[in-house]
Amino acid sequence: MTRFPVTGRSIFVFAIPLALLVLASGLVGLLCDSTYAKETESWTAQGIAQDIFDVVMLAPVILLAAIFARKGSPPALFILLGSLIYALYTFSIYCFALHFNALFLVYCAALGLSFYGGASVLSGLDLEELRGWFDPGKSVAIPSAFLIVVAVAFCFLWLSEDIPAILHNRVPETIVEAGLMTNPVHVLDLAFLLPGSLVCGLLLRKKHPLGYLFAPSLLAFLAMMSLSIGGIAVYSNSRGMSSGVVLPCVFALLAGVNGVLFVNIVRKTRKEVA
């Protein structure tokens, strides 16, 4: 039988503290005006919307995914890894793109738990045995192509903003509006997320164990990211910083596509792995 990597109570060593820190940082951000007192109006709106998502979605997902992963559910394990990647991404922005505030150490602790929690899960995986969780006859062409297309599309989208700004020796308007030195989303996407998505799509196409591991995890991450961006757009609209109705609709659609592709990959895994 395939050895399931998350055994005993070890999964809760990071999952419970991380969920509590995510919940605490979100609630304090929502309830204390001083949290975003030094930020621009645009960045404040995005921070508040992110806090709402963290409280309503991220903290519960981390905790519930950990519980079901502990019971031997491979889909829950992939959702847990996806939520840890999301927390790592989000708290990197909190740590490096917000002015110093009372939650700084909370942000640092959540960032560390996200990283080491993911590392602890990955360190227990046997990649060759993981391949046995999936139906080898099932096509992975669509999810692999989707990850590749997403990587290429968003790379061109971000570069279409960054390259003209560099050539004309100016700062992109989005950075000016947020009051930042650089765009942390572009940094994380261009340096890590988009190359990772591209490589993951290629590995999944070859049915490599790493493709089977990270493809559903990235799809879970992208579904959460799409929902949060859509939510941020809706909240910004409510604050009079109109982004229109197209952006929320596009990201709601992307969230749905990611969710369908995630289900498509994991539905043939065994319900429980001993």
Q: Closest Cα partner for 116 from 184, 26, 15?
A: 15
Provide the residue ranges of all domains of the chain, joining segments of one domain with +. Answer: 10-266
Copy the structure tokens of residue 162: 């960054």
Rounded alpha-carbon distances, angstroms, from residue 53 to 8, 35, 143, 170: 30, 16, 26, 33
Nearest-angstrom CA–CA distance, 221 and 53 = 13
> Where on the phi/psi map is residue 179: left (φ > 0), alpha (ψ -120 to 50), or beta?
left
CA distance 82 to 218: 6
**3-state DSSP of the chain:** CCCCCCCCCHHHHHHHHHHHHHHHHHHHHHHCHHHHCCCCHHHHHHHHHHHHHHHHHHHHHHHHHHHHHHCCCHHHHHHHHHHHHHHHHHHHHHHHHCCCCCCHHHHHHHHHHHHHHHHHHHHCCCHHHHHCCCCCCCCCHHHHHHHHHHHHHHHHHHHHHHHHHHHCCCCCHHHHHHCCCCCHHHHHHHHHHHHHHHHHHHHHHCCCHHHHHHHHHHHHHHHHHHHHHHHHHHHHHHCCCCCCCHHHHHHHHHHHHHHHHHHHHHCCCCCCCC
242 contacts 45 by C-beta, under 8 angstroms: no
Per-residue pLDDT of the chain (274 residues; tens, 9 = 90+): 344 555 556 788 899 999 999 999 999 999 999 999 999 999 999 999 999 999 999 999 999 999 998 888 889 999 999 999 999 999 999 999 999 999 999 999 999 999 999 998 888 788 878 878 887 778 889 999 999 999 999 999 999 999 999 999 999 988 998 899 999 999 999 999 999 999 999 999 999 999 999 999 999 999 999 999 999 999 988 887 766 788 889 999 999 999 999 998 888 665 444 4
d(CA 10, CA 119): 12
